Structure 1
Amino acid sequence: MKIKIIKLTESAQVPRYSHADDAGLDLFAIEAQKILPGASALIPTGIAIELPQGTEAQVRPRSGLALKHSITVLNSPGTIDAGYRGEIGVILINHGQETFQVVEGMKIAQMVIAPIMRAEIEEVTELSATQRGEGGFGSTGYA
């Protein structure tokens, strides 16, 4: 599968896999920003993409940023639809207690390309019975 990418600025980096078996392509910041504790920020990547029909790009957090700095993608996973042609931005949130400094060229998130399924919606008056029923939010226990 091919993904078409346009660099919108000179400093933009083309997303790339760090290792042969990686699921996600690294996304890079094109400018420095400070994210205060408890705050979020839209970090530009300086790229736009063209996805094949029937696919989406999911923007996901980087585990190292989450573990070491409590930085994650706020709307995780962020969805980029195949029809979107604008700049990819990553909404980062700082769950930590210290200001986090994003620097130009930093790996800020990963982008996973995935197939999508379109559903046909049918409105009904009742749903079929299951063993679980309406149990949710911890209804199966904690152990």
Structure 2
Amino acid sequence: MLEGDLTERESLRDLHVDTPRVVLNLARVRYINSEGSRRLLQFLDELPATDVVAELAPPAVVDLLNLVPALASKLSVTSVIVPVECPNCLTEGDVRARVTPGRVPEVDLPTCDECGARMEMAVLPDRYFAFLTA
């Protein structure tokens, strides 16, 4: 599991992988700057793995996947974390969504714990999931 901020302070060189398939749980990645994205790409380039799966990609990673096509081409993303908000009381949260390349997924939206209204995606689906259809 990768967690925290991916910046110039993270080398990722301490991660040793020697299997043909790698699964990266990205749920706890909060922030990625340009140097962090460069180091992540370098790490992926140096992996001996032929199949790199990313699961539970949070908004910081999804934003990067949409900005850097090279990253999206190196990862097989199976699920993402989608930010949601209540249109009535503005309570925020997130939901997990399974994704498949080539299409924008249906996101199962919960009801708000505070007021009972149906939550809405806090992002535009076509933009948020653009990396899947590029």
Q: TM > 0.5 between the two?
A: no
Greater helix percent: which structure?
2
Larger radius of gyration: 1
User: Comparing both chains, which one has the higher relative contact order based on Cα–Cα distances under 8 Å and sequence gaps of 6 or more?
Assistant: 1
